[in-house]
Chain A
Amino acid sequence: MEIRFILNQKQVAVDAAPDAVLMNVLRDLGCKSVKCGCETTNCGLCTVWIDGKSRLSCSVLAAGVAGREVTTLEGVEEEAAEFGRFLAEEGAEQCGFCSPGFIMNVLAMVKEFEERDAASGSGVWDIEEIKEYLAGNLCRCTGYMGQLRAIQNYMAERRGAAEGREMKEVQA
């Protein structure tokens, strides 16, 4: 069956079987960042965004995304590279196999938390809250400590940059 959807801001049309899962369809379309790590729907490696929300593409029927917007790591290259630098600085990466799914969920989390903060005016992110948000992203090399440091540094820099922008606006 033909399925049309938006992949990384581009309209695509693919011919896929009714039981094709999104993960495989995305890989066939060249998005090799999307991987299967567990076969039991809980490792988070296949994380992509559907209409902006983090989802497990291994359990999504490709047919079900017709008309929707799908984003993979390939579609957020710039932000991913930026956060990737923080990961590298903390030596957080070992084999790197889980990184694409992890980065997708980190970016979704940062977006969600920043939107919430903008609405409520608060800006304190509890480390437990971060851990809870990312509990569905498994890494079998590390103990997650480097990743958590990287996230905190990344968020602090974003906050600093946002405050800098605000200061400029106020001065202007």
Chain B
Amino acid sequence: MLTISNYVKAKTLEEAYELNQARSSRVMGGMMWMRLSNAKVKTVIDLSGLGLDQIEETDKVFKIGAMCTLRQLEQCERLREEYGDGIREAVRHIVGVQFRNQATVGGSIYGRFGFSDVLTAFLALDTFVELYDGGIIRLSEFVNRKPDRDILVSIIIRKGKRKFRYSSVRRTKTDFPVIACAVVTGIVHGEESWYFTVGARPMKAALTERKWKLGPDESEEAIAAYAKEIAGEFDYGTNMRGSAQYRQHLAEVLLRRSIRSILTEDK
């Protein structure tokens, strides 16, 4: 059970950060996961009054406030124009509209949950996190850091021409994924680059990249071999939703489909 002795709606980020230095404090996102946890929280810190619920766009980046809901991501026209249906695909299977109206991007990313679709999707893009004290660091670095007392302020995606695909397998609609994969490609420093993330293995999403130059006429066999190579790079675990072997097989199939879908897009 979760108990809370004190609720504070922070007036500034500084206040939130100061309050969060106590080990007994906790920052709340959408409270979706936190309320199911067992914890005695002395002070719960609500960031909802700090204007962190906006998706801002500049020439170079998309900046997604930590308190943006998953539903906002799903409905953001600009993200759809930039990355296609992938972002929407990554969140639309998560429980229901009511849940996504409440669950926050910051909560999903800060939690670094093994089941996280949001983390799997953003990790494949050129993504950074903005921390109140720690500044801006790569999401790929943040994901492997131990949770500390810092405050996650926003998620920053550096723009660039990218093709993005997201896919997952679920035993039943609205459930956690058994496996989740994102594939991104684009020209980085003049070279064609591929980024692959696999999440819900059931461990949290991990990233691998390749400097591959692939054309639209790659054979099915070649694409299958690439997918096998990538899927084989991650480790998988067994739980009630599926075995490690099953998950690796699913990852291989989803990666293959995504690579093919990207390669044949302009055909």
> Which chain A residues have a beta carbon within 8 Å of chain B's beta carbons?
1, 17-19, 21, 40-42, 44, 47, 53-56, 58-61, 63-64, 66, 105, 108-109, 132-137
Give me 16 A-to-B residue pairs in the complex whose CB atoms sit less than 8 angstroms apart, sorted by A's number: A18-B7, A19-B44, A40-B36, A42-B99, A53-B101, A56-B32, A60-B31, A63-B9, A63-B46, A64-B9, A105-B98, A134-B97, A135-B96, A136-B96, A136-B97, A136-B99
For B204-241 the 0/1 string (1 means CB < 8 A from A) is 00000000000000000000000000000000000000
Q: Across the interface, which residues of B come within 8 angstroms of A17, CB to CB?
A: 4
- Size bracket, chain B contacts: 20 to 34
Task: Name the one of B2, B9, B30, B96 contacting A19, with C-beta atoms under 8 angstroms.
Answer: B2
Question: Is the CB of B38 closer than 8 A to any CB of chain A?
Answer: no
B99 touches A56 (CB 8 A): yes
> Which chain B residues have a beta carbon within 8 Å of chain A's beta carbons?
2-7, 9, 28, 30-32, 35-36, 41, 44, 46, 48, 92, 95-99, 101-102, 173-174
A137 touches B96 (CB 8 A): yes
Min CB distance, B14 to chain A, in Å? Answer: 21
B36 touches A41 (CB 8 A): yes
CB-based closest 9 A-B pairs: A136-B96, A19-B4, A18-B7, A63-B7, A54-B98, A18-B4, A53-B101, A56-B98, A42-B95
Q: Across the interface, which residues of A come within 8 angstroms of B5, CB to CB?
A: 18-19
B31 touches A132 (CB 8 A): no
A135 touches B7 (CB 8 A): no
